Amino acid sequence: MKKNHPFHLVTNSPWPIISSMGILTMLMGLISWMHSKEIITMTVGTTISILSTYQWWRDITRESTFQGEHTLKVTKMMKMGMILFITSEVMFFLSFFWSFFHASLAPSMEIGMKWPPKGIECFNPMEIPLLNTIILLSSGASMTWAHQAIISNKLKKTKKALILTIIMGMIFSTLQLCEYIQAPFTISDSIYGSTFFMATGFHGLHVIIGTMFIMISTMRIMNMHMTMNHHSGLEMAAWYWHFVDVVWLFLYISIYWWGS
């Protein structure tokens, strides 16, 4: 079909409404799981969300790679959308830091007017948190290597760097899981437990999402979907990953090091 404009007029898609229903079901199931230990609803919602996300991503890949719908104008607009999305994520994490510093800089009478609150045994910032910091910063370096390699049309080096980034992301998530299992406090242990697990937990979720984002980019490169001139997906994955790195630096310095 010939067009006299550079824009992409998307076709009707069932995935937005199905994804919304899946996320709603998953969150309602999460509440049900927390209150009554019933996990079926959350499992169904999670399954719907994963399947609809996969198929939505598949359709976007087809539009980009095989149908040629992602023109320079469309790509520019998608990058702007990613910038605005990351900006919204910055504000999202800012709310957690605001809550943490509101509670820690002027501790209330209810928590003994001290920080950390009495009875809370904090993590040693020189152990797993420091190791995770080194791993995540190293993964940021390998992600930059991958980006520079694809710009130089060195696809083998790009694949190696992306696989290295994925491995480090998975190690980070595994170590954080071990840290949570060994935690001497819970999310219900005063404002400290709440702010700690909310901030680090959502960051951990972002690491998992970022790892999946990089996995998709790696598979697309292996299938020759990206070139030195056509790799917006990888570029946006790199932006997201660097954002995750920066947030972790603030988390480590403020919550693990200063807050302990």
CATH architecture, range 12-69: Orthogonal Bundle (1.10)
Per-domain residue ranges of the chain: 12-69, 71-258
pLDDT at 1: 56
Tokens of 66: 């095989």
CA-CA-CA-CA torsion sign (212, 218, 224, 230): positive
CB neighbours of residue 230 within 10 Å: 14
Tokens 């700690």 locate to 196
Q: Which residues contact 34 (CB under 8 A, 6 or more apart)?
A: none
Look up tokens 């901030």; give the residue.
199
The pLDDT profile of the chain, 260 residues, written as one tens digit per residue, is 567 788 888 889 999 999 999 999 999 999 999 888 889 999 999 999 999 989 998 998 898 888 888 888 889 999 999 999 999 999 999 999 999 999 999 888 888 888 888 888 889 999 999 999 999 999 999 999 999 999 999 999 999 999 999 999 999 999 999 999 999 998 888 899 999 999 999 999 999 999 999 999 999 999 988 888 888 899 999 999 999 999 999 999 999 999 87
Fold of 71-258: Four Helix Bundle (Hemerythrin (Met), subunit A) (1.20.120)
Ramachandran assignment for 121, one of left (phi > 0), alpha (psi -120 to 50 degrees), beta (any other) = beta
Report the chain's C-alpha Rg in angstroms: 21
